[in-house]
Amino acid sequence: MTMKPESPKATGWLGWGHAFGELTLSNDELEQRFELSPGWIEQRTGFRARRYASNQQAVSDLAIDAAKLALHRSGVSIRDIGFVLLATSTPDHLLPGTAPMVAARLGSSAPAFDLMAACSGFAYGWMTADHLVKGSGQPVLLIGANVLSRRVNPQNLQTAILFGDAAGAVVLGPTSAVGIVAAIGHSAGEHATQLIIPAGGSRQPWHPDILAADRFMQMPSGQFVFKLAIQAMLADCDAVLKQAEVTSSEIDWLIAHQASYRIVAELGKRLEIPAERVAWWLADYGNSSAATIPVALSLGREQGLIRPGQTILLAAAGAGFCSAASVLRA
């Protein structure tokens, strides 16, 4: 009689990696473009610069570089990966998905698919990967990657000063130790138009008369998005802390989606987590949407800021309007 393998008790974080676009766009250049005073952008966003992909780089290239580093650090062979998940809102093509192409270039024929939940994509991917690991007993390669520089109107002040291009990856696998403790997410689709690229889908297909602005990301009210993001992440964080039976005083690091310093700092303040335990590590790289959390995780591990045994609170909110939070042990 063949016995089914015992399901793993937890999903552990085995490896991490990141990659950035090859080009750098400084605040100085943007402040000259928009005729702003020196320091204006950093004061309002916390960003000093952002990374842009070169003409030779697509989102799959960044995803592969981050994935290779994560696989190397995990010690897991690509042949042993059970699933490849890519969280992105800027795929190489509208069809097919980018994840299968990433998997193939890495040397894998495992099931591979894209997740499109914008800034919350990686957080949703983490929840999905947790179930896949526990259900299959196999490691999962989870990547968050975006090339938002090609979806931002260079003449739109609200978006041009925020977004950049990057990829972050983690290898998640079965473990008997505590890994992901709890996770939760929500959506509020009634606010979907607050962050939107109107053209290019089935609602408004490409055609010669499309307005230039409709080809790019639109954010009608940055202040409204700020308030909505804070409310959504705060509610998810409160719920997941309760679910995990952890208090905010026990959190070693709050790693929120690095949308802007003001959002990250305000969330930490409302959760009563001291500023020195609130991660703000992407000031020189920009907001890369679903990539910011895995990039921050990778940088934190690489720089020795995140250490084994620490308790981490992840939180994200963005277009959709989707949000999520999770508690994990490093």
Whole-model pTM over 0.75: yes
Residue 63: the pLDDT is 98
Q: Write the pLDDT tens digit of every residue in 261-280.
A: 999 999 999 999 999 999 99
Q: Is 257 a catalytic residue?
A: yes
Residue 3: the pLDDT is 40
Beta strand 322-329 with 10-20: parallel, antiparallel or unpaired?
Answer: unpaired
Strand partners of residue 173: 12
Residue 4: the pLDDT is 46
Contact 142, 183 (CB under 8 A): no
Whether the per-residue pLDDT at 8 is higher than 70: the answer is: no
For residue 53, report the phi and psi dihedrals to the nearest 5 degrees.
-70, 145
Percent of the chain at pLDDT > 70 equals: 97
Using alpha carbons, select from 151, 157, 146 the residue that is nearest to residue 18.
Answer: 146
Residue 176: the pLDDT is 67
**Set 27, 146, 237, 287: catalytic member:** 287
**Set 18, 119, 146, 237: catalytic member:** 119
Contact 260, 48 (CB under 8 A): no
Q: Is 72 a catalytic residue?
A: no
Q: How far is CA 57 from the centre of its chain?
A: 19
Q: Is 237 a catalytic residue?
A: no
Q: Write the pLDDT tens digit of every residue in 159-210.
A: 999 999 999 999 999 986 667 889 999 998 898 888 888 888 888 888 887 8
- DSSP collapsed to 3 states, the chain: CCCCCCCCCEEEEEEEEEEECCEEEEHHHHHHHCCCCCCHHHHHHCCCEEEECCCCCCHHHHHHHHHHHHHHHHCCCHHHCCEEEEECCCCCCCCCCCHHHHHHHHCCCCCEEEECCHHHHHHHHHHHHHHHHHHHCCCEEEEEEEEHHHCCCCCCHHHHCCECEEEEEEEEEEECCCCEEEEEEEECHHHHHHCECCCCCCCCCCCCCCCHHHHCCECCCHHHHHHHHHHHHHHHHHHHHHHHCCCHHHCCEEEECCCCHHHHHHHHHHHCCCHHHECCCCCCCCECHHHHHHHHHHHHHHCCCCCCCCEEEEEEEEHHHEEEEEEEEC
**Dihedral sign from CA coordinates of 320, 110, 15, 132:** positive
CA atoms within 13 A on the CB side of 19: 26
Whether the per-residue pLDDT at 2 is higher than 50: the answer is: no
CA atoms within 13 A on the CB side of 116: 7
Contact 288, 149 (CB under 8 A): no
Residue 1: the pLDDT is 37
